[in-house]
């Protein structure tokens, strides 16, 4: 199941989108999320569709892969679609079967809202597909930097995220090991009522937490031994490079916004 999930997965291929500065990608996506709600007619939705398809094309990620990964989300989209079809009663009546009445306005609304949802999903998953988690962290840190002035712990937050990311596979391995150890002692994780299963998780979580705390303490010691004394006076090894492609991306978004405002 984990293999099929594409949310939060990074696909290491070469593409213009992969080369983009994570800050530009984050900004683009924030603006995109905002402007998606401006679209209200066929023309504006067409524009959004063109933008989304262009982004997918530029990412070099196989469309088939993208759609397969988002398959389970189609049900949610379908659900919103039917919700609008059945409950929006505007415009001409198109079809009537018993108590089911489908209106033109409902159909329109259903299609538009589902499309909106669909575009958002595609574009946001493109972010994680083309950007490594650590790049996203760097991007967030850099974008939040102004907040440092009001005392927001920007550096600490980004360090926390990066350490959390680094330890995910380690803790996954550990969970697996503990699970096997407990299974060897007769704990059954896969059978029984929900209550029984929830209970079976306890002997899994307790050793995991104890170990995680132990790791945290050792890690803190190791960090101190290597001279860590907070964000003050630290230099950065990973470099963010704002290039032409990022300017183009922001410009494109700008033009898209203006067009949407004019054509709506």
Give counts: helices (H), strands (E), the chain. 10, 2
Give min distance, CB of 19 to other proteins, in A: 16
Nearest-angstrom CA–CA distance, 87 and 101 = 9
The owner of tokens 């330890």 is 167
For other proteins, the closer CB: 98 or 227:
227
Work out the number of other CB atoms within 10 angstroms of the CB of residue 260.
21
* Residue window 177-216: x/- pattern of binding to other proteins, with contact defined by CB under 8 A: -------------------------------------xx-
Residues 134-153 that bind other proteins (CB under 8 A): 134
The correct pick among 148, 177, 197, 236 for binding other proteins (CB under 8 A) is 236
**76 by DSSP, 3-state: which?**
helix
For other proteins, the closer CB: 163 or 181:
163
Output the furthest CA–CA distance in the chain (Å, rounded).
Answer: 75
Asked if 13 interacts with other proteins (CB under 8 A), we say no
Give min distance, CB of 212 to other proteins, in A: 11
Could you tell me the end-to-end alpha-carbon distance of the chain, in angstroms, rounded to an integer?
A: 41
Q: Which of 13, 20, 38, 49 is nearest to 248 (CA)?
A: 20
For other proteins, the closer CB: 43 or 160:
160
Nearest-angstrom CA–CA distance, 44 and 42 = 6
Asked if 9 interacts with other proteins (CB under 8 A), we say no
Nearest-angstrom CA–CA distance, 114 and 49 = 12
Asked if 157 interacts with other proteins (CB under 8 A), we say no
Give min distance, CB of 38 to other proteins, in A: 37
Asked if 166 interacts with other proteins (CB under 8 A), we say yes
The correct pick among 33, 57, 224, 258 for binding other proteins (CB under 8 A) is 224
Give min distance, CB of 132 to other proteins, in A: 8
Asked if 225 interacts with other proteins (CB under 8 A), we say yes
How buried is 131 (Cβ within 10 angstroms: 0-12 exposed, 13-18 middle, 19+ buried)? Answer: buried
Contact residues for other proteins (CB under 8 A)?
133-134, 162-163, 165-166, 169-170, 173, 214-215, 218-219, 221-229, 233-239
């Amino acid at each position: 199941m984990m293999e099929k999930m594409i949310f939060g997965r990074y696909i290491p291929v070469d593409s213009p989108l992969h080369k983009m500065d994570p800050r530009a990608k984050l900004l683009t996506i924030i603006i995109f999320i905002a402007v998606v709600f401006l679209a209200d007619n066929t023309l504006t939705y067409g524009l959004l569709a063109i933008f989304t398809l262009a982004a997918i094309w530029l990412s070099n990620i196989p469309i088939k892969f993208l759609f397969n990964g988002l398959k389970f989300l189609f049900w949610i989209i379908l659900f919103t679609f039917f919700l609008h079809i059945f409950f929006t009663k505007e415009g001409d009546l198109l079809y009537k079967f018993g108590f089911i009445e489908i209106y033109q306005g409902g159909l329109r609304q259903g299609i538009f809202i589902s499309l909106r949802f669909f575009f958002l999903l595609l574009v946001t998953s493109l972010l994680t597909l083309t950007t490594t988690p650590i790049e996203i962290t760097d991007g967030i840190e850099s974008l939040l930097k102004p907040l440092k002035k009001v005392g927001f712990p920007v550096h600490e937050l980004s360090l926390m995220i990066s350490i959390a990311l680094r330890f995910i596979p380690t803790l996954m391995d550990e969970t697996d090991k503990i699970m096997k150890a407990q299974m060897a002692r007769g704990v059954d994780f896969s059978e029984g009522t929900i209550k029984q299963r929830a209970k079976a998780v306890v002997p899994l979580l307790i050793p995991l937490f104890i170990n995680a705390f132990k790791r945290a303490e050792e890690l803190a010691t190791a960090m101190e031994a290597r001279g860590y004394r907070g964000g003050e006076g630290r230099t950065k090894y990973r470099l963010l490079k704002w290039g032409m492609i990022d300017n183009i991306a922001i410009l494109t978004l700008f033009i898209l916004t203006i067009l949407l405002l004019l054509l709506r």
